[in-house]
Chains A and B, each alone.
Chain A
């Protein structure tokens, strides 16, 4: 009893260990939703974040897709940005130093059209100051193999991860797409090929059309759905991935509050990434960190790692705990 009270007075320890990576807290911001960090400097103290996953980088700059690139849907949005980015060289010269000077861990999301491009990116990012880890985006078409997406085939996913693994000693995260029949197979293939961690999910393939113009709402016709609408899919994918591998898993998909983030941690995700919610509330990531801290304190949990993976899979009827509490019976 006395110990519990003492624990409740002290701020909870939010630090997490993800294989070779240690973070001050489990809250990151997802690639493609936070620019290169600086875009958000007016809205929150970037030093409060566990890490920033920067906009996906390719070897050479990419202009992105023709507009319209985004469309709003119920509790979500579909995007087909087309991986617009400044390219590796500009990133290293003018984007990364902003984060490294401030000691903010940068996780660099990389993607290529060929295996060699993935390898080359990893080689040139290896040893760059400020790079905490690489996140491999395998949701890209393999140009040499007729455009089939690397991340939808276990063998191709393994080849990409293997290529990157050979090129760097940096901690590796493989970002999984939910657009597969069995995500666990891709997860195992990536880990067997040397990925230290996994992150899931990328956006859910989606479409929207306009009945007046009788045209698609995106120039690319198909895009990726994100936002609160995908959270239940993301939780299910994270759960399946956690069941199939032993490595740390980073959960994401529709997180917009501390409660959302805690749901992924409860499943066993070692950390989370906030995506689309950054667009709506540019200070949301800081609020999520504070919310997790408050929750742990109120619940008397001294360390977030004690909460991670504490899900009891035996489902009970909801009357027990909740009604006892509201009636002040406990």
Chain B
């Protein structure tokens, strides 16, 4: 469970969707201990610009190969610089960090995985882990609801498909799969398949999607674990920059914060004070291209 500061070697880099890339990094110490839902801090390059590391969740963990995969979208200078790196490049990593997904106990199902856009990143590793548990995969009880604004932002189906996984595609503009957001897609599938009710939901995606998913799950009393993100300087509980308002059911007036890096990045839907986030309209994280 130790955290490692490790120099990794970039083994593969490829574009996999619109402005989206996959990196395979040789990083044995981190790969050995990483779990689904955890993340690492990647230093884009030496020097002062950009200064801070960027957090990335594990897209795939290949312990036997001593390697990890990340999936990222180019949203600013740091990710743009990353997208231009060639295999062989050295990259400094700190990880594994954070708590990781809590897998459902054996026999618990069906499980809904919900991914919005680049939110597919940690969901892939989770899907792989879940489908290793034979009792879940047997009757196709692992569902992936995977949506984005437009079709080109989604990964190709051969990258996501795996035996036992039922995938429900959706796009806001209807260019691929169901037309609408992932929550509407879930409602549609639940309406079609009588008796289908998730025992557990796992989600990752833009804040607006997570907000709706959290309310949806809380309203139905379905246990939901959400992978949240934030700007952060360190990733291991020192800078306290990655605060999110915590729900305090006993005392709604209390002001308390959770930290994405050490209390998360995986949070039960009910642990976050979603209304406060919505009211304050906390800016969507990180950077935007001009």
- Residue B48 CB within 8 A of the other chain: yes
Set of chain A residues within 8 Å of B48, measured between Cβ atoms: 74-75, 227-229, 256
Q: How far is A141 from B230 in the complex, measured between Cα atoms in Å? A: 28
B231 lies within 8 A of chain A by Cβ: yes
Which of A35, A55, A77, A215 is within 8 Å of B51, CB to CB? A77
Given known contacts A33-B239, A219-B280, A279-B52, what 16 new A-B pairs fall within 8 Å (CB)? Answer: A33-B238, A34-B238, A43-B94, A63-B255, A66-B280, A67-B244, A69-B240, A69-B242, A74-B48, A74-B49, A77-B51, A227-B48, A228-B51, A276-B51, A276-B233, A280-B43
Report B-chain residues with C-beta under 8 Å of the C-beta of A290. Answer: none
Q: Are A63 and B233 touching (Cβ within 8 A)?
A: no
Can you report 11 residue pairs joining A to B where beta carbons are below 8 Å apart?
Answer: A35-B237, A42-B4, A43-B94, A55-B240, A66-B280, A68-B230, A70-B233, A70-B239, A81-B241, A256-B48, A279-B239
Q: Are B282 and A67 in contact (CB under 8 A)?
A: yes
Q: In whole angstroms, how far apart are the Cα atoms of A213 and B245 in the complex?
A: 21
**CB of A204 within 8 Å of the partner chain:** no
List of 9 A-B pairs having minimum Cβ-Cβ separation, nearest first: A70-B241, A75-B48, A279-B234, A279-B233, A42-B3, A35-B238, A228-B48, A63-B255, A39-B238
B238, B245, B283: which contacts A217 (Cβ < 8 A)? B283
In contact, B230 and A280 (Cβ under 8 angstroms): no
Instruction: Give a binary string over B182-205; 1 marks a CB under 8 Å from any A CB, 0 the rest.
Output: 000000000000000000000000
Once the chains bind, are A280 and B53 in contact (CB under 8 Å)? Answer: yes
Residues of B within 8 A of A283 (CB): 5
Please give the distance in Å from A86's CB to the nearest CB on chain B: 11
* Of listed B52, B233, B244, B257, residue having the most chain A CB within 10 A: B233
Residue numbers in B under 8 Å from A34 (CB-CB):
238
Complex CA gap A32/B241 in Å reads 11
User: 1/0 contact trace for A51-88 toward B, CB 8 Å?
Assistant: 00001000000011111111110111101010010000
Cβ-neighbour of A68 out of B50, B92, B282, B288 (below 8 A): B282
Task: Check if A43 sits within 8 Å of B5, measured CB to CB.
Answer: yes
Q: Is B236 an interface residue when CB atoms closer than 8 A count as contact?
A: yes
**Residue in B4, B231, B241 whose Cβ sees the most chain A Cβ within 10 Å:** B241
Indicate if A3 sits at the interface (CB-CB under 8 A).
no
Name A212's contact: one of B52, B53, B233, B288 (CB within 8 Å). B288
Give, as a whole number of angstroms, the nearest-CB distance from B112 to chain A: 28
CB atoms of A278 and B283 under 8 A apart: no
B29 to chain A, nearest CB (A): 11
- In the bound assembly, the distance between CA atoms of A68 and B288 in angstroms comes to 16
- CA A14 to CA B233, docked complex, whole Å: 30
Q: Which residue of A has the minimal Cβ distance to B237?
A: A39
* Shortest distance between the CB of B143 and any CB in chain A (Å): 32
Residues in A neighbouring B23, C-beta threshold 8 A? none
**Nearest B residue to A283, CB-CB:** B5
Centre residue among B3, B52, B242 by max chain A CB count within 10 A: B52
Residue A330 is within 8 A (CB to CB) of chain B in the complex: no
Among A40, A84, A215, point to the contact of B240 (Cβ < 8 A): A84
Contact partners of B243 in chain A: CB under 8 A: 64-67, 69, 84
Instruction: Tell me, yes or no, whether A45 is within 8 Å of chain B by CB.
Output: no
Q: How far is the CA of A257 from the CA of B1 in the complex (A)?
A: 29
Q: Does A322 contact B (CB under 8 A)?
A: no
Give the distance in Å from the alpha carbon of A241 to the alpha carbon of B288 in the complex.
41
> For chain B, which range describes its interface: under 10, 10 to 19, 20 to 34, or 35 or more residues?
35 or more
* Contact partners of B255 in chain A: CB under 8 A: 63
A79-B241 contact in complex given A43-B5, A210-B283, C-beta closer than 8 Å:
yes
Beyond A33-B239, A213-B283, is A70–B51 a contact (Cβ under 8 Å)? no
Q: Is A300 part of the binding interface, using a Cβ–Cβ cutoff of 8 Å?
A: no
Note all chain A residues with C-beta closer than 8 A to B239: 32-33, 70, 79, 81, 279
- Report if A129 contacts B (CB, 8 A): no
Could you tell me the distance between the alpha carbons of A219 and B50 in the complex, rounded to whole angstroms?
22
- Asked if B238 and A279 make an inter-chain contact with CB atoms under 8 angstroms apart, the answer reads yes
Chain A residues whose C-beta falls within 8 Å of the C-beta of B43 in the assembled complex: 280
Residues of chain B within 8 A of A217, CB atoms compared? 283
A258 to B: closest C-beta gap in Å:
16
> Within 8 Å CB of A43, what residues of B?
3, 5, 94
Bound together, the chains give a CA A65 to CA B245 distance in angstroms of 10
CB distance from A34 to the nearest CB of B (A): 6
Q: How far is the CA of A166 from the CA of B275 in the complex (A)?
A: 47
Nearest chain A CB to B62 CB, angstrom units: 22
Min distance, Cβ A204 to any Cβ of chain B, angstroms = 15
Residues of A within 8 A of B244 (CB): 67
- B53 & A64 in contact (Cβ 8 Å cutoff): no
B156 at interface (Cβ–Cβ under 8 A)?
A: no
Q: In this assembly, does B2 line the interface, its C-beta being within 8 Å of a C-beta of chain A?
A: yes
Q: Give A32 to B233 CA distance when docked, in angstroms.
A: 12
Chain B residues near A66 (CB-CB < 8 A)? 243, 245, 276, 280, 282
Closest B residue to A66 using CB positions: B280
> Given A35-B238, A42-B3, A81-B239, A70 and B49 touching (CB < 8 A)?
no
Of residues 162 through 218 on chain A, the ones whose CB sits less than 8 Å from some CB of chain B are 210, 212-213, 215, 217
| A69 and B241 contacting across the interface, CB-CB below 8 Å | yes
Are A75 and B3 within 8 A (Cβ)?
no
Q: Which of A34, A39, A67 has the most CB of B within 10 A?
A: A67
Contacts of A70 in B (CB 8 A): 231-233, 239, 241
Once bound together, how far apart are the Cα atoms of A55 and B234, in whole Å?
A: 15
1/0 contact string of B266-288 vs chain A (CB within 8 Å) = 00000000001000101101001
